[in-house]
Amino acid sequence: MRNLNQLKIYKDEVENQQNRKNKVVRFDHDGEYRYDRSGRYPGPFTNFLKECGIINLYTMPGTPHQTGIAER
């Protein structure tokens, strides 16, 4: 949950500094942000982004150039 709180803080900071809403967040293909511990249901990150109307994009596995974009 600590990471979710950090995401909320980051989202608020970016929106305040840019005077715009976040529209898209990119993640690497790792499941830690995508699903809960069982791997079947949307996790807290996915649910939070849905509530905020933010699209979450995931990189394809085995594509290091896309992973670099997600990690920036």
Domain range annotation of the chain: 2-71
56 in Cβ contact with 25 (< 8 Å)? yes
For residues 65 and 13, give the distance between their C-alpha atoms in angstroms, rounded to a whole number: 27
For residues 13 and 40, give the distance between their C-alpha atoms in angstroms, rounded to a whole number: 31
All residues at 6 or more sequence positions from 4 whose CB lies less than 8 Å from its CB, including other chains: 44, 45, 48
Tally the C-alpha atoms within 13 A of residue 66's C-alpha that lie toward its C-beta: 12
Global pTM reads 0.66
pLDDT digits (tens, 9 = 90+) for 3-57: 888 889 989 999 999 999 988 887 776 656 677 667 677 888 888 989 999 988 8
